[in-house]
Structure 1
Amino acid sequence: MKKIKYSILLLLSILMLGIGACTKDFDKINTDPNKPSNAPATNLLAFSLQDFAANLWDSWGDIDEPESYSGQIAKIQYIDESRYQFRTGTVENMWTYLYRELKSLQVVINAAEASDNTDLQAVATTIQCYIWQVATDRWRDIPYSGALAADSGKLTPKYDKQEDIYPSLLNKLKATNDLFNNPSPSSNVGEGDLLFGGDVAKWQKFCNSIRLRMAIRISDVDPALAKSTIETIMGDLSKNPIIESNADNAFFNWAGAGTADILTDESWYTGLYLGSRLNNYAVSSNMIDTLKELDDPRLPVYANPVLEEKEQTVYRGSIIGLSGTSAPGGLSHYSFIGDFMQTIRQVIRPLCALQKLSLFWPKQPRRDGM
């Protein structure tokens, strides 16, 4: 009998030791190393830059809406957007992408501020303000002041007016320029700077160029604020440097593997060429007719000749907003987007270029208000 009791006690002891051993490293064992809850701030910066360039300037987020609305591109097939018929799923995706990037950048800003990394804080704030402007230009009134506080329980932020968002962004960018002018000793943007490769001086020029862009945008709505902003920047370019040569342009570079990989291929190239969507779009008649009237040498850059005119070079644009499901005359009747425009997009996406400072192409449509 004693032998049985000892055996039971021994077995129970082994079981207890086994349970303790299992629970000791339970959290570690059940944590997926490929899904970290915390990531280096510079990695989040890299994600935000790539995610923004890939999704907000692809064929859905760029051509179908802004390029069509501004009169540069016309739809040949599936011409819903040309008649301002929104696709709910597309709009919701754009919304998700923007706020995902904004929140990621806020995490970067908070981490940089906590570690006194002023350069990283300034860089993240610069691109965040740029994304905020893209969001309000696209939808006008949006959740802004309380939009990034879901982790503190604020799940239904109010919609702020565009008239309040623009001045707030200008104030943020002004304060960000001050950060650039007074960096902390330990400042380091890290390897996540996919835009300028850690060149903080170029980031400061980008920051102030965005300030000028915003001031130009509000010049008809708030001329006093626009005037004071422009005078502050242009009055002291040593403290408020701006983009003054093409060497300082903000280009997002893609590896260009040609494999329809969102991490390597530019989004127009992926959607139009690798995704076989090129036949959906033509250069608009507005664009082509204007270039013809001006005898503008950029016409063959923006557009290809129509395919049906084999004996001569003819450029013909499609009319924006036609009725029906496709433009009449067939695909070969219209000029597609120029080869050069597609070639350059295989490797870069211009976020801010000197020659486009006042419009910051691709141009967002102006709505009532700002």
Structure 2
Amino acid sequence: MKNLNKIFIVLLLGIFVSCDEKLDINTDPNYPGEINAGLALTSAEATLVSVTGAELTNYGGFLAQYHTQAPSASQYENIDSYNVNITYANALWTQLYAGTLTDLQYVTTQSEAAGDTGSALIAEALRAYTFQLLVDLFGDVPYSEALQGNSGNITPVADSGADIYADLIEKLDAAVAAYEANPTEAEVGAQDIIYSADIDSWIQFINTLKLKMYLRMAYTSQANATAVNALLTEGNFITADAKFDNFVSSTNKTNPFYGSYLSNAGDGLGDVNHVASNSLHDFYTENGDPRLQAVFRASLTGTYASIPQGTGNTYNNTATAYARPNIGDTTPVFLISLAESDFLQAEALIRYSGGTGAKEKYDAGVAASFATYQTYFGLDGTASATDFTGAGGAYEYVASSDVETAVRQVIIQKWAALPYVNTIEAFIESTRTKFPEVVEAGTQDYSIGNRIPSDISVLTGVNVPSILYYPADEVNRNPNITQHTALTQNVWWDQKPE
């Protein structure tokens, strides 16, 4: 898969290299001799989505219990059994640091030198998104001393996640302030695949990202009601899915999960490893939710069968007998969906504004999820979210004076809205909030949203992973990185009592 991602990124870059009218036939336009900020930005975005859209969609799907290892296959039993080792994250760590973040640093340097505050703002937004993701997955990571290899520092210290979050928010605010003080048209233009350099949209993205970061802090002493309420009062959040959709139906140019896991390209295994987990499948079916047939593809016989998490070894058939992830060759990779933004606002209103307006944002989140699955995953256009959120509906929001009771409704619907849209986010949010709860097998109520320990779990009780091991490559060469003691070690914001 590593090689596939490299090819994917190179080909994406090639799309944006224009040819001079007097092109030298000995010059390959797909491999430019010089790179500018726009090409670096395209590369950064492509690398980021190749990680989140492929490996982290795979990993998050097992932990959020959207999919499980298929019978008659064993490629990802290490993930399904919570037995991920210290080499697992080598590639994704390198791609995010040496790929995405290094390219974004170049964009920042070039943009600031040119006085291009627009492009600098875009780079800062993506930098914050990437570092936040690294913190959420690994905990403390290199930050203040990172990306300084040219100066000889190849052993950066790991900064605390709390300090990184605080600095990211400060730098996001500074980037917006610099742009507003001297607004310039971003020179990266259409080489920004996500918003085509529309700075108003990027500012909305930044506000939404900041809201997400503040809510990550909800169970910590850094919880900041004042900052959250200021964002809510301004109300300037994303108004559409933030997505990367520059994929075509051609080998090595497709959606990265499709190309790596579902097609016959990539590792050559084809679509044999992922089948629907009962945890999500039964939540949908027991609530009559039509998103089942958008999130998953039917079996060869047209059914949507599933199995309990981690039980593939007890069956003798193959993946095609079950529902499987419905990711196509041109399905976008989403950074933040509109549904996620609405659910963030609903949770914020519950926690910090007495719940006023939470129902409206909750209902809007469910509606936005239906719309995303209709637009990109083939959900029947007649499916109506209001049938579920209206009076007496399966997902009717019920106000509660107990914050956690009210928040649970929001997080369960977020979990139901994120499959193959932003799968890793579902895992991270379940780690933060403990919803859907992990309960002993046999005691679950899938209709309200529950997970169970994987049947092949190497952990005890109802424990599930909450962090990734640092990659062995990093630990071996950097004495300032101390390996985690277990996959159940907590990220800094993971402080909700259990």
Q: Does TM, normalized by the shorter one, top 0.5? A: yes
Matches within 5 A, 1:3-18: none
Equivalent in the alignment of 1:143: 142
1:299 matched to 2:287: no
Equivalent in the alignment of 1:173: 172
Per the alignment, do residues 189 and 233 of structure 1 end up closer, same or farther by CA in structure 2, a change over 3 Å counting? farther
Once structures 1 and 2 are overlaid, which stretch shifts more, 289-298 or 43-52? 289-298
- Indicate conservation of the 8 Å contact 1:257/1:265, yes or no: yes
- Indicate conservation of the 8 Å contact 1:306/1:316, yes or no: yes
Let me know the Cα RMSD of the aligned residues.
Answer: 2.6
Cα offsets for 1:14-50 (capped at 9, x unmatched): xxxxxxxxxxxxxxxxxx9997785211111111011
Unaligned 5+ residue runs, structure 1?
1-31
CA drift of 1:167 comes to 1.8
- Indicate conservation of the 8 Å contact 2:242/2:338, yes or no: no
* Distance (whole Å) between structure 2 residues aligned to residue 327 and residue 216 of structure 1: 40
**SS state of the match for residue 148, structure 1?**
coil
1:197 matched to 2:196: yes
CA drift of 1:299 comes to 1.5
CA drift of 1:284 comes to 1.0
Cα offsets for 1:123-165 (capped at 9, x unmatched): 0010111011111111112111111111111111111222222
CA drift of 1:336 comes to 2.8
Per the alignment, do residues 353 and 183 of structure 1 end up closer, same or farther by CA in structure 2, a change over 3 Å counting? farther
**SS state of the match for residue 94, structure 1?**
helix
Structure 1 counterpart of 2:92, one-letter code:
M
Structure 1 counterpart of 2:42, one-letter code:
A
- Indicate conservation of the 8 Å contact 1:255/1:347, yes or no: yes
1:252 matched to 2:236: no
- Indicate conservation of the 8 Å contact 1:116/1:184, yes or no: no
Unaligned 5+ residue runs, structure 2?
1-27, 345-413, 432-465, 467-489, 494-498
* Distance (whole Å) between structure 2 residues aligned to residue 334 and residue 229 of structure 1: 50
CA drift of 1:318 comes to 2.6
**SS state of the match for residue 81, structure 1?**
helix
Equivalent in the alignment of 1:46: 42
Find 2:318's aligned residue among 331, 334, 344.
331
Structure 1 counterpart of 2:161, one-letter code:
Q
- Indicate conservation of the 8 Å contact 1:120/1:188, yes or no: yes
Equivalent in the alignment of 2:340: 356
1:69 matched to 2:67: no
Percent identical among aligned pairs is 22
1:284 matched to 2:282: no
Equivalent in the alignment of 2:258: 269
CA drift of 1:198 comes to 2.1
**SS state of the match for residue 224, structure 1?**
coil
CA drift of 1:305 comes to 4.0
* Distance (whole Å) between structure 1 residues aligned to residue 149 and residue 308 of structure 2: 44
Structure 1 counterpart of 2:337, one-letter code:
A
Cα offsets for 1:192-239 (capped at 9, x unmatched): 2111112121111111111111112221224632x23321212224xx
Matches within 5 A, 1:149-168: 149-168=148-167
**SS state of the match for residue 279, structure 1?**
coil
Instruction: Give the number of equivalent residue pairs.
Output: 318
Equivalent in the alignment of 2:5: none
Structure 2 counterpart of 1:114, one-letter code:
A
Structure 1 counterpart of 2:336, one-letter code:
C
Equivalent in the alignment of 2:448: none
**SS state of the match for residue 223, structure 2?**
helix
- Indicate conservation of the 8 Å contact 1:316/1:333, yes or no: no
Q: Which has the higher helix share?
A: 1
- Indicate conservation of the 8 Å contact 1:209/1:242, yes or no: yes
- Indicate conservation of the 8 Å contact 1:287/1:317, yes or no: no
Equivalent in the alignment of 1:206: 205
- Indicate conservation of the 8 Å contact 2:119/2:197, yes or no: no
Per the alignment, do residues 171 and 191 of structure 1 end up closer, same or farther by CA in structure 2, a change over 3 Å counting? same
1:119 matched to 2:118: yes
Equivalent in the alignment of 1:11: none
- Indicate conservation of the 8 Å contact 1:117/1:188, yes or no: yes
Q: What TM-score, normalized to structure 1?
A: 0.78
**SS state of the match for residue 244, structure 2?**
strand
Cα offsets for 1:263-309 (capped at 9, x unmatched): x21112212123343210011111112112222221222223444xx
Equivalent in the alignment of 2:229: 231
- Indicate conservation of the 8 Å contact 2:298/2:323, yes or no: yes
* Distance (whole Å) between structure 2 residues aligned to residue 151 and residue 254 of structure 1: 32
Cα offsets for 1:149-188 (capped at 9, x unmatched): 1111111111122222222222222222323433344653
